[in-house]
Amino acid sequence: MTRRTHADVSRRTYLKLTGGTAAVGATGLAGCLGESGGNMTITPGTAPGFPPFEMREDGELVGFDVDLLEAVVAETDYELGEWATFDFDGLIPALTQNEEIDVIAAALTIEPGREETIDFSDPYWEANQAVLVREGGDFQPSGWADFEGTRVGAQSGTTGAGEVESNLVNEGIISEDNSSTYDSYVLAVEDLTNGNIDAVVVDTPVADTFTASRDVTVAFVEQTGEQYGFGIRQNESELQSALNSGLQTVQDDGTFGELRDTWFGQE
């Protein structure tokens, strides 16, 4: 799978054609659920460093999740405020404790532990976990049992970090000291290519992006059957319904497919 570059389809041009009005790229604390021109403004939050879902290009916040949420909200009676960015494991606290944001768009896996704290939109993506290693390197595992004595990385708070913990640390295959977490997968993969760690566990679509741009390869895939959804505070049924309706619209009218092809390319 080959990802088209951001220049292939201008996001600003796309949003102009489809009526999107969201402001993108600013990091900060905006007022949540405020009135704007008669419509309710919602503040989105994400965690750059998870390409191609969310990252920075030339200082601008871009990615599939960014474009998708903008397209979805454009189909609702809500308006999208300026984006706020956090480390991944700071997103849910920003949503629930500090109420700095109203919706999370960050390849967030729908899972029971998170559902105890937040609600989700309908799912919009499916993924598994891939094990990245250096291309042409000596370490080419075929399963978790091959990891004895290795150093493994993942992004803090992600499913990948959970897979390392459950399959390697808890099983005694590697020590806690040999399990490293990072603020973003970009940093983890840099450590991998520099030889500081031996493998990175990351969601499959993100792994594909790294294999296309770095000297890394997928050793094997763990079938986790994850689904991504937009995260919102509990008991906000009107916002949840609006996001679900907007998501269905962009899936039905072809917008979702266009965005998918822009960011992930066509098979």
Domain range enclosing 140: 127-226
CA distance 120 to 229: 6
Q: Are residues 55 and 146 in the same domain?
A: no
pLDDT given for residue 25 in this prediction: 36
CATH number at residue 84: 3.40.190.10
CA distance 14 to 209: 22
Please tell me whether residue 265 adopts helix, strand or coil conformation: coil
Q: Is residue 89 part of a domain?
A: yes
Q: Are residues 77 and 205 in the same domain?
A: no
The mean pLDDT of 9-25, rounded to a whole number, is 37
The mean pLDDT of 103-124, rounded to a whole number, is 97
The pTM (predicted TM-score) of the whole model is: 0.81
Q: Are residues 153 and 164 in the same domain?
A: yes
Structure tokens at 142: 């075929």
Q: Are residues 174 and 81 in the same domain?
A: no
Q: Are residues 74 and 199 in the same domain?
A: no
The mean pLDDT of 113-131, rounded to a whole number, is 97
pLDDT given for residue 68 in this prediction: 98
The mean pLDDT of 232-239, rounded to a whole number, is 97
pLDDT given for residue 39 in this prediction: 77
Lowest mean pLDDT among 2-16, 19-33, 59-73, 153-167: 2-16
Q: Are residues 103 and 183 in the same domain?
A: no
pLDDT given for residue 95 in this prediction: 98
Q: Are residues 31 and 114 in the same domain?
A: yes
pLDDT given for residue 29 in this prediction: 39
Q: Is residue 147 part of a domain?
A: yes
Please tell me whether residue 192 adopts helix, strand or coil conformation: helix
Q: Are residues 111 and 132 in the same domain?
A: no
Q: Is the pLDDT of residue 37 over 80?
A: no
Q: Are residues 75 and 105 in the same domain?
A: yes
Helices (H), 76-203: 91-96, 112-115, 159-164, 185-193
Q: Are residues 30 and 146 in the same domain?
A: no
pLDDT in tens, 128-170: 999 999 999 999 999 999 999 999 999 999 999 999 999 999 9
Q: Is residue 45 part of a domain?
A: yes
CA distance 226 to 124: 11
Helices (H), 89-195: 91-96, 112-115, 159-164, 185-193
Q: Is residue 186 part of a domain?
A: yes
Q: Are residues 21 and 120 in the same domain?
A: yes
Q: Are residues 110 and 134 in the same domain?
A: no
Task: Please name the residue that has the structure tokens 């799978």.
Answer: 1
Q: Is residue 61 part of a domain?
A: yes
Q: Is the pLDDT of residue 76 over 80?
A: yes
For 193-204, b/e burial (b = at least 16 CB within 10 A) is beeebbbbbbbb
The domain total for the chain is 2
Q: Is residue 234 part of a domain?
A: yes
Q: Is residue 50 part of a domain?
A: yes
Q: Is residue 18 part of a domain?
A: yes
